Amino acid sequence: MLTDSGGFQVMSLSALRKITKDGVKFRSHIDGSLHYFTPESVMEIQTALGADIIMSFDECPPYPATREYVEKSLYTTLDWAERGLKAFNNHDNQALFGIVQGGIYEDLRQKSALALMDLDFPGYSIGGLAVGEEKKDMFRITEFLNDILPSEKPRYLMGVGTPSDLLNNVARGVDMFDCVMPTRNARKGSIFTRNGKMIIKAARYKEDFSPIDPECTCYACQNFSRAYIRHLISMNEILGMRLATIHSLYFYQELMAMIREAILEDRFDDFYHEMLPKLDQLI
C-alpha cells in the first residue's frame, strides 16, 4: 500500500486552506471544522495507516504559476521534507519518499532533487506534473531528472496517467505511477486496451459480441461481450462500470508487466516503438 501526504489537496482545495510556514489549515467542506496538518502529523497519520510506502508533506504548486511562487513553494516543500524525515521513526517497516517539486523550471527541479538526495530518502517522487502543463513539458522534466536522481533508487511519477504516458515516462527513467484515470474513465465508458482507447458506448459496438480485447484474460473479457458491457453502461448499470474498471486496471497491470519483461530481455526500444502508436489510437 502507498499513501500520499495530502500535498495535492493543498493545491486542489486552495479555496479551503491556508498555507503557513508550519503547515496547512483546512476548512472542512462538510461541516466547516478546522483541520491542521504539519509535516510531523502527516508522518504520524501515514505511519498509523501502515502503508508500505509513504510520502513527505509537500506543497504542489498550481499550473500556471509564476517562477517566484514556484520557488517559494519549493523551499517550503524542502523544509517540510526535512522536518518529516526527522519525525519519521518507522524505517524498518515503511519507505519514506521525498517529493521533487519545481514546476516546469529545470534549475528549480535540480535544486529540489539535489537537496532531497542530500537527505538520502529511500525513494524519490516527482510531483507537480500532470496538473495542466503540456505533455512536452512533462516529458522534458522527467527526462531532465533522469540524469540527476540516483538510478539505484525508485522513482515515482505522481498522478500519471494514460497508457502512453506510462510508456513514455518509463523511457525517461520512471519506475512507478499512480492515477485515477483507468477507473474514472472506465466508469464513463472509456476503456484502455493494448490496441488503443475504446469508447464502449459507441453505436458500432451495439451488436459486437466479441470481448473488449480478444487477447486479454481479465474477468470482463473472458465472460462478457462489448455489446453487453455497452448496454450496461448505457443503462447506467453499475455492473457495466465495474466490468470496464476491471478490464482497464487489469490492462494497466499487464502493460507494466510487459514493460518489465521487455526491459529484462533488453528489447525495450523495440517494444516502445511497436506499442506506442497503438496506445494513442482510438478504436
**Can you tell me the distance from the alpha carbon of 7 to that of 21, in angstroms, rounded to the nearest whole number?**
14
pLDDT value at residue 181: 95
**Distance, C-alpha 215 to centroid of its chain:** 26
Say which of 22, 137, 175, 178 is annotated catalytic: 178
pLDDT value at residue 54: 98
pLDDT value at residue 256: 98
Structure confidence by residue, pLDDT tens digits, 124-138: 999 999 999 999 999
pLDDT value at residue 268: 98
Domain 7-179: which CATH number of 3.20.20.105, 3.40.718.10, 3.40.109.10, 1.10.10.10:
3.20.20.105
Residue 137: active-site member: no
Q: How confident is the model at residue 2 (pLDDT cuts 50, 70, 90)?
A: very high
What sign does the CA torsion over 275, 276, 279, 280 have?
A: negative
Instruction: Retrieve residue 149's grid coordinates.
Output: 536522481
Q: What is the mean pLDDT of residues 208-221?
A: 97
pLDDT value at residue 272: 98
Q: What is the mean pLDDT of residues 19-44?
A: 95
**Can you tell me the distance from the alpha carbon of 251 to that of 191, in angstroms, rounded to the nearest whole number?**
10
pLDDT value at residue 24: 97
pLDDT value at residue 185: 97
* Mean pLDDT rounded to a whole number for the chain: 96
Q: How confident is the model at residue 78 (pLDDT cuts 50, 70, 90)?
A: very high
Residue 178: active-site member: yes
Q: Does pTM surpass 0.75? A: yes
Provide the 8-state DSSP code for 64.
S
Structure confidence by residue, pLDDT tens digits, 152-171: 999 999 999 999 999 999 99
Structure confidence by residue, pLDDT tens digits, 236-257: 999 999 999 999 999 999 999 9
Phi, psi for residue 172 in degrees, rounded to 5: -110, 20
Say which of 4, 58, 165, 213 is annotated catalytic: 4
Is the separation of the CB atoms in 281 and 195 below 8 Å? yes
DSSP H/E element including 232 = helix 226-234
Any idea where the domains of the chain sit in the sequence? 7-179, 182-279
**Can you tell me the distance from the alpha carbon of 6 to that of 274, in angstroms, rounded to the nearest whole number?**
37
pLDDT value at residue 234: 96
Is the separation of the CB atoms in 65 and 103 below 8 Å? yes
**Can you tell me the distance from the alpha carbon of 151 to that of 61, in angstroms, rounded to the nearest whole number?**
26
Q: What is the mean pLDDT of residues 64-71?
A: 96
**Can you tell me the distance from the alpha carbon of 125 to that of 158, in angstroms, rounded to the nearest whole number?**
7
pLDDT value at residue 175: 98
